[in-house]
Amino acid sequence: MQVKICGLTNLEDAWVAVEAGADLLGFILYTKSPRYTPPEQIGAITQAIRDRAGEQAPRFVGVFVDATVDQLVDAMQVAGLDYAQLQGAESPEVLAALDGRAYKALRPTSVADAQEAAERYANLGTPDGPRLLIDAYDPHEYGGTGKKADWHAAAALARAYPRLMLAGGLTPSNVAQAIRTVQPWAVDVASGVESAPGRKDHDAVRAFVARAKQEEPTP
User: Active-site residue numbers?
Assistant: 6, 135
Q: Round to whole Å and give the CA distance between 104 and 119.
A: 11
Q: Is 202 exposed, middle or buried (0-12, 13-18, 19+ CB in 10 A)?
A: middle
Q: Round to whole Å and give the CA distance between 167 and 146.
A: 9
102 bridge partner residues = 84
**Is 8:45 a contact under the CB 8 Å cutoff?**
yes
Q: Left, alpha or beta for 16 (phi > 0: left; psi -120 to 50: alpha)?
A: alpha
- Expressed in percent and rounded to 5, the helix, strand and coil fractions of the chain are 40, 20, 40
DSSP classification of residue 54: G
